[in-house]
Structure 1
Amino acid sequence: MHSSIAPRLTSKLPNVGTTIFTVMSKLASEVGAINLSQGFPGFDCSPELVGLVETYMRKGFNQYAPMTGVPALREALAQKTFEQYKVAYNPDTEITVTSGATEAIFAAIASVVRPGDEVIVLEPAYDSYVPAIELNGGVPVYVTLTPPQYAVDWEVVRQKITAKTRMVLVNTPHNPTGYTWTTDDLNQLAELIRDRPIWLMSDEVYEHILFDGRTHHSLMTHPELQERTFVVGSFGKTFHITGWKIGYCLAPAELTTEFRKIHQYLTFSTVTPIQYALADYLQNPTHYQQLPDFYQRKRDVFLDGLKGSRFTCTPAEGSFFQTVSYKAITDESDYELAIRLTKEIRVAAIPVSVFYHQKNDYKILRFCFAKDDAILQEAAERLSRL
Structure 2
Amino acid sequence: MDLCLTKDELSFRDEVRAFFRVAVPADLREKLIAGVHPSKKDMVSWSRILAKKGWGAPHWPVEYGGTGWSPVKQYIFTEEMSQTPAPAPLPFGVNMVGPVIYTFGSDVQKKRFLPRIVPLDDWWCQGFSEPGAGSDLASLNTRAVREGNHYVVNGQKTWTTHAQFADWIFCLVRTDPGAKKQLGISFLLIDMKSPGITVRPIQMIDGGHEVNEVFFDNVHVPIENLVGEENRGWDYAKFLLGNERFHIACVGVSKERIRRIKDLASQVRLGGERLIDRSDFREKVAAIEVRLKALEVTQLRVLANESKRQNGTQDPASSILKIKGAEIQQATSELLMALAGPHAVPYRAEEDFELRNERPIGPDWAVTIASAYFNMRKVSIYGGSDEIQKNIIAKAILGL
TM-score by length of 2: 0.28
TM-score by length of 1: 0.28
Considering Cα pairs closer than 8 Å and 6+ residues apart, tell me whether 1 or 2 has the greater RCO.
1
